[in-house]
Amino acid sequence: MKGLLSSAVKVAALAVIVIILAGCSPYSTGRFNEHLKLPAINGAGAEGEDLYGQTDRWWEGFNDPALNSIMKDAFRRNLDLSQAHERMLQARAAAREAGASNLPSLTAHASGGRTKQATMSGPLEADTYSASLSAKLEIDLWGRMSARARAAALESMAAEEALKAAYMGVSVEIAELYYTSVEQKAQLSLSELTIESLDRIRESVELRYRAGVVTALDLYLARQNLATSSTKRPALEAAIAAAEAGLALAMGNSPGEASISTPDTLPEPPEFPAEIPSDILKRRPDVMAALRSLEARDYRVAAAVADRFPAFSLSASYGGASDKLSEVLKSPNIFWNALLNLTMPIIDGGRRRAVSEREKAAMRESLAAYHKAVLTALKEVHVSLIRNRKSREQIILMEQAVTAGENTLRVAEAQYLQGITDYINVLSAQQQLAASRSALLTSRRQLLSDRIQLARALGGNWMTEAAAGRTDKDNYDKAGNDE
């Protein structure tokens, strides 16, 4: 008995020494920080400044209840969000799985049965029963398991940021499709008004032709202009149908499954911020996802390097065995053992070194991806701010062009009816005015798109709340399967 106690003490002492040495990682994480030379953000505003100075839910700045309702439905039912949410849940489960490897395991074993065998004195039957508990703990001497657990946790964080990015992407997609539908409806209304105006001109030309005042050429030109304008209607109707089908898909519906109501005129877009929020990079989930992925890769390198060193583990078991169930855990049927195990790689053909080099290359790739994500974010904000200013300038110029076109057409029609000018001048004025009015609508739609893209470039914090409120049950009960 004393010998057993002495052996146990020795094993325990050796285990304590090994545990004390645990955490001596041969690789220091965070080495990539010296390469993170980020550019300064010029024109930064207040910390956490909300888009448009009103709300972080940027689309509410358009003051459109129909758009707000569509956004709400899409966030519940969109299938891209369902996939992103499930990927996040997978990453969280993988993080818990990796973290569990740092904890001791305890396993119970039990067995019982009857055996029969032939002997010299005849058949012999006997009962056998056993019960035991076994425990195992791998000592994280070089930080391999903790590095893997940390990497999995960071990958879970990256998946959460990816889900937030998916929310932002869906909101932008919804708004773009919504206002595309509105613009095409407005273009269709404009086309119908133009056709009505051209038809009135055609009737006037016909009357003058029958009276012998104008030639047949004027009549044919009037009819040609009317027919040409009428050809735009099918394409506009097809564009409206395509935009509404896209909205239906984004809402988790099949085309025509639910009615989608959009206004017939484009709204005046809200003002955009004059300064860039100082925490712009933290507001961009794609940038944060790239950073978390980079950090996770760093810990993967640490785990790969530590895997090239010896591994230690403690194992112990306690139990008993007897031919009587009631005496399984009674002396002298008790057995136990305690072991300190050592596993040391000697020859592996260079596999572990190759894994380490692969992980280091992957980390450098993630570093480049993070740098690009940061620069892309800053570029998108810079370009979006410029486009917003230039789109507003273009609208002013287009409004002047429309006003000039209306004046030109009024004078041309009056002079034509007085016989002062040819119909070709009226025709040219009609075409120019129709083109200018259509271009003005397109410019106003472009300004809305620029506002939307600026909202995407600036990021936000509203996605955190939206993602946190989603559950895995939503993916089945709400993503296109409401009862």
- DSSP secondary structure string, 155-216? HHHHHHHHHHHHHHHHHHHHHHHHHHHHHHHHHHHHHHHHHHHHHHHHHHHHHHHHTTSS-H
Q: Any idea what DSSP says for residue 324?
A: S
Query: What is the predicted pLDDT for the residue at 427?
Result: 87
Query: What is the predicted pLDDT for the residue at 47?
Result: 46
Q: Give the C-alpha separation, 158 to 293, whole Å.
A: 6
Q: Give the C-alpha separation, 451 to 474, whole Å.
A: 31
Q: Give the C-alpha separation, 20 to 102, whole Å.
A: 15
> How many Cβ atoms from other residues are within 10 Å of residue 287's Cβ?
22
Residue 449's closest CA among 70, 172, 164? Answer: 172
Query: What is the predicted pLDDT for the residue at 451?
Result: 93
What architecture does CATH give domain 25-102+142-308+350-477? Up-down Bundle (1.20)
Q: Give the C-alpha separation, 55 to 292, whole Å.
A: 27
The number of residues making up the chain comes to 483
Token pair 């209607």: residue: 233
Strand ranges across the sheet with 334-343: 105-119, 122-139, 311-322, 334-343
pLDDT per position in the chain (483 positions), as tens? Answer: 455 445 544 545 554 444 444 445 677 777 766 666 655 555 444 444 444 444 478 999 898 999 999 999 999 999 999 999 999 999 999 999 999 888 889 999 999 888 877 777 767 788 888 998 999 988 888 888 899 999 999 999 999 999 999 999 999 999 999 999 999 999 999 999 989 988 888 888 888 888 888 888 888 888 988 898 889 899 999 999 999 999 999 999 888 776 777 888 888 888 766 666 667 788 899 999 999 999 999 999 999 988 888 888 899 999 888 888 888 888 888 888 888 888 888 888 888 899 899 999 999 999 999 999 999 998 998 899 899 999 999 999 999 999 999 999 999 989 988 888 888 888 889 899 999 999 999 999 999 999 999 999 988 889 988 888 776 555 545 444 443
Find all residues with CB under 8 Å of 103, minimum gap 6, and list them: 137
Residue spans per domain, the chain:
25-102+142-308+350-477
Residue 178's closest CA among 443, 437, 440, 445? Answer: 445
Q: Give the C-alpha separation, 360 to 354, whole Å.
A: 10
Q: Give the C-alpha separation, 375 to 362, whole Å.
A: 20
